[in-house]
Homo-oligomer: A and B are copies of this chain.
Amino acid sequence: MSETIGFIGLGRLGLPVATNLLQAGYSLAVYNRTASKAEPLIAQGARLAARPADAVAAGGVVATLVWDDEALESVVMSEGFLENLGQGGIHISMSTVSPETSRKLASIHAARGSTLVEAPIFGRPEAAEERKLLIPLAGPKDAKDRVRPILAAMGGEGLYDFGEEAGAATLVKLVGNFLIVSAGHSLGEALTIAEKNGVDPVAVADMLTQTLFNAPIYQSYGKRIAQKQAPFGQSKIPMKDVGLLAEAARRAEAPSRISGFLHELLRSEAE
């Protein structure tokens, strides 16, 4: 495992994921727009890259975990990135972006002889620390086979294969996040209605999340809501991701009534 992996994007999720890789014995070359965030990794032996292209080795593997479509495109199109990755190189794309952007970047890679593997992450930073991430996968078979042990080392407890087509795993991520946001906001509204009607919301959450809704998502958001926290805090991720899903629905001429409404609701609450 002396292979050096490039890792770009050391946010709240990227940092624990990269840390897992280091601890599993991989060498890392890391890049982050705010370089100071790389310090804990440098202290553990990672090499700091001055620009994205410097985290990339010829024919090697580079993972990106950045905020949005624009940030991802700017990394891939940055000077030297595709050139350095070159023939046989693999880009593990772990950000939550639109399927369209992902398909476009997969084509750009393919034209250069490198491969994009979609591997967006389900899991909060704590789940990364506990190595309990869920990762839907899409991309050419050989590339997926090569990156599976790397994804497992990142903390991917469950890897779910959605075939070879770019866009598929990205869409699964959007679908999952939409369901999470719908569940969290519906639960929040439900418990508020209970409370305003004089019914103890903690008792309601306890009953429902031990029975009909005994899934991790409901249990963790039930606890947050019962403690008077907003289900998703101040995070802008729900608005961004539900917006991406609603857009993917419209492009495919699929119904987007609930996702479209939820996106509008989140936008109005953010104002």
Interface size on A, residues (CB 8 A): 61
**Bound CA–CA A97/B176 (angstroms):** 33
- B interface footprint on A236-250 (CB within 8 Å = 1, 0 otherwise): 000000000100110
Majority secondary structure of chain A interface residues (helix, strand, loop or mixed): helix
> For residues 161 through 175 of chain A, which have their beta carbon under 8 Å from a beta carbon of chain B?
162-163, 165, 167-168, 171-172, 175
Task: Give the most central of A179, A197, A257: most B CB within 10 Å.
Answer: A197
Q: How many copies of the polypeptide does the oligomer hold? A: 2
Quick check: is A255 within 8 A (CB to CB) of the other chain?
A: yes
- B interface footprint on A190-218 (CB within 8 Å = 1, 0 otherwise): 11111111111001100110011111111
Quick check: is A261 within 8 A (CB to CB) of the other chain?
A: yes
**Bound CA–CA A217/B208 (angstroms):** 11
**Bound CA–CA A192/B211 (angstroms):** 27
Quick check: is A99 within 8 A (CB to CB) of the other chain?
A: yes
**Bound CA–CA A165/B194 (angstroms):** 13
> For residues 255 through 271 of chain A, which have their beta carbon under 8 Å from a beta carbon of chain B?
255-259, 261-262, 265
**Bound CA–CA A253/B258 (angstroms):** 23
Whether the pair B193, A248 counts as a contact (CB closer than 8 A) is yes
- B interface footprint on A86-124 (CB within 8 Å = 1, 0 otherwise): 000000000000010000000000000000000000100
Q: With a CB–CB cut-off of 8 A, which chain B residues contact A262?
A: 258
- Residue of B167, B182, B200, B259 near A193 (CB, 8 A) is B259
Whether the pair B189, A259 counts as a contact (CB closer than 8 A) is yes
Quick check: is A150 within 8 A (CB to CB) of the other chain?
A: no
Whether the pair B245, A193 counts as a contact (CB closer than 8 A) is yes
Task: Give the most central of A207, A218, A252: most B CB within 10 Å.
Answer: A207
Whether the pair A122, B212 counts as a contact (CB closer than 8 A) is yes
Chain A residues close to B by CB (< 8 Å): 99, 122, 134, 136, 158, 160, 162-163, 165, 167-168, 171-172, 175-176, 178-180, 182-183, 185-187, 189-200, 203-204, 207-208, 211-218, 245, 248-249, 252-259, 261-262, 265
